[in-house]
A and B are shown apart, each in its own frame.
Chain A
Amino acid sequence: MMNGSTIIFYLLALQTLTCGLLSVSTRQIFRAAIYLLFSLIGIAGIYFWLQYQFIAAVQIVVYVGGIVVLIIFSIFLTQQAGEKLPKQRLGRKIFSALAVFCAFALTMLQVYQHDFNSPAEAAQPVTVLNIGKNMMSVGDGGYALPFEIISMLLLAAMIGCIVIALRSKPEKT
């Protein structure tokens, strides 16, 4: 018996995996970016299905609204319009697919053989209030220090991007 929730989960899984596969296999780079976008939206849908609404919102804002747009802009800056990517050697494709499939089979074998313990503790509601309190807490289980380190990392990354992408001035003689 299938209920609506199960059907939605399988549809989201299908969307994520199909679009991910098309994204790494299509030869048109712009289509690869669009397939990546739909794959990331599928993952955000799975987060919604798991009732982690905050993570789903962050996923949509940062990945779909930020990183994919950045990738599309860099495609516009570096690719010629309508030009397909060069074909890869068939041997490389076959060996990569074989290696990846064997690794996947091994991983899934290990996962299905492992018996995960069922949780002992009561569920804590994942509300934005709880997330904010834990994020800013300096006590046990608080994440104030990583939060500050991440903000420093983002600042350093921003300055680094500006320095790397600056067009160097012609030298004065």
Chain B
Amino acid sequence: MMEPGLYHILFISAALFFIGVYGFLTRRNLITMLMSIELILNSVNLNFIAFNKYLWPGKMDGLFFVVFIIAIAAAEAAVAIAIIINLYRSHHSIDVVNDEDLKY
């Protein structure tokens, strides 16, 4: 076991990103797919913070990117949940297999 550094945090963030991708590929329920997207966004945030801390400690650009990503993620989650609830009202299902009105 070594002292944790940049590579350790990059490992965690890459692992979390691909866990999110795995969830996005295997899940068929819209809410669980949204959860996978949240995991992916969080891994990106972790990357920005790690690069800001270990490579450019004199600047704060990574930190501001993270703040703006969190704000956009909150807006995205709110809009997505509004769409999901509206879809449930009209189709009584939020499974992507059942909602194929826009297909073909």
Contact = CB atoms under 8 A, between A and B. Distances in A.
B20 A20 contact: yes
A113 B79 CA distance: 40
Nearest to A130: B60
A67 B29 contact: no
A101 B17 CA distance: 11
A55 B67 CA distance: 7
Interface in B67-86: 67-68, 70-79, 81-86
A99 to B, nearest CB: 7
A107 B14 contact: yes
A86 B94 CA distance: 12
Contacts of B58: 119, 121-124
Q: Is the interface of B mostly helix, strand, loop or mixed?
A: helix
Interface residues on B, range: 35 or more
A10 B3 CA distance: 10
Nearest to A78: B88
A8 to B, nearest CB: 9
A124 B60 contact: yes
A24 B78 contact: no
A143 to B, nearest CB: 5
B4 to A, nearest CB: 4
A29 B16 contact: no
B35 A23 contact: yes
Interface in A110-144: 111-112, 116-119, 121-124, 126, 130-131, 134-135, 141, 143
Given A20-B20, A43-B42, 11 more contacts: A9-B4, A17-B15, A24-B27, A71-B81, A112-B7, A119-B56, A119-B58, A141-B61, A153-B72, A164-B79, A164-B82
10 closest A-B pairs (Cβ-Cβ)? Answer: A24-B23, A121-B58, A157-B75, A123-B57, A96-B25, A161-B82, A164-B82, A165-B82, A9-B4, A104-B18
